[in-house]
Amino acid sequence: MFIKTNNKTHEEETISSEEMVSVLESEFKADEVDEILTEIVSGIYQHRTSVAIYKYKA
């Protein structure tokens, strides 16, 4: 499952894989999204925006 942590409140929210893909597609080229998702699920990468931190939790 993907976890979104709000930067201001530090509240964690579970988001769907579709929502995670949507976040990534808004910032990266389509051909990069699969690789980034793999890195997030592998624990190599946490995606950060000005609003939240996104990570994967098994």
Q: Do residues 55 and 1 make contact, with C-beta atoms less than 8 angstroms apart?
A: no
Which single residue is written with the structure tokens 């990468």?
45
Question: Which pTM was predicted?
Answer: 0.88
* Domains: count for the chain: 1
Reported as a single tens digit per residue, the pLDDT across 9-56 is 999 999 999 999 999 999 999 899 999 999 999 999 999 999 999 999
Q: In which band, very low, low, confident or very high, does the pLDDT at 7 lie, cut at 50, 70 and 90?
A: very high
Interatomic CA distance for residues 11 and 22, integer angstroms: 20
Give the CB-side neighbour count of residue 19, counting CA atoms within 13 A.
11
Q: In which band, very low, low, confident or very high, does the pLDDT at 58 lie, cut at 50, 70 and 90?
A: confident
Domain range for 43 is 2-56
pLDDT at 4: 98
